[in-house]
Structure formats: C-alpha cells, structure tokens
Amino acid sequence: MERLCSSPLHENISTALDKHLESIHVVQARRKDEIVNASSRQRHGPPRCQDERVVLALAAALRALCLATRRVRTALWCALQMTLPK
C-alpha cells in the first residue's frame, strides 16, 4: 500500500501489525504450554491447579489476540482508504 500512495503510511499502522504478530506468537506459545501440560497430566494422573493457570493464560492470550486483530483490521482499512484514488 505504501507503493500505491508513494509515501510511507502512518506509524500506527505498522505498530498495529507488529502487535498483532506478537499476539499470534504469544497464543502459539500458550497453546504449546497447554499441550505439554495435557500430555504430562495423562502420564501422572489427576489434574493439578497448574492446569487452570495454563488454560487461563491461553484465554488471556486469545483475548489479546482478538483485540489486536480488531485494531489491525481497522488500521489496514484506514491504510486502504488513504491509498484509494479520490
């Protein structure tokens, strides 16, 4: 889009994209933790309190990803509107 309008876009757009990518990486890490925790639980028996923390951390990461996705969609829509011919 920067090529279309022949000028750099606002820095908030790139910041929103960076935060969205960071949120994706956090969700992936929390999901890996949940998988490791679930597989170790099957080996060792009854569930522990640690399980709830892992699931709550994943839920918080998903909430942050949802918010970041909304922001990046809005930022990209604004960038598109700025690049369209008038």
45 vs 67, residue with greater confidence: 67
Q: Report the percent of the chain where pLDDT is more than 70.
A: 81
pTM: 0.80
Element (H, E) at 72: helix 49-83
- In this prediction, residue 86 has a pLDDT band, given cuts at 50, 70 and 90, of confident
The answer to whether residue 17 scores a pLDDT higher than 60 is yes
Q: In a 10 Å sphere around its CB, with 0-12 CB exposed, 13-18 middle and 19+ buried, how is residue 83 labelled?
A: middle
Cβ atoms of 27 and 54 within 8 Å: the answer is: no
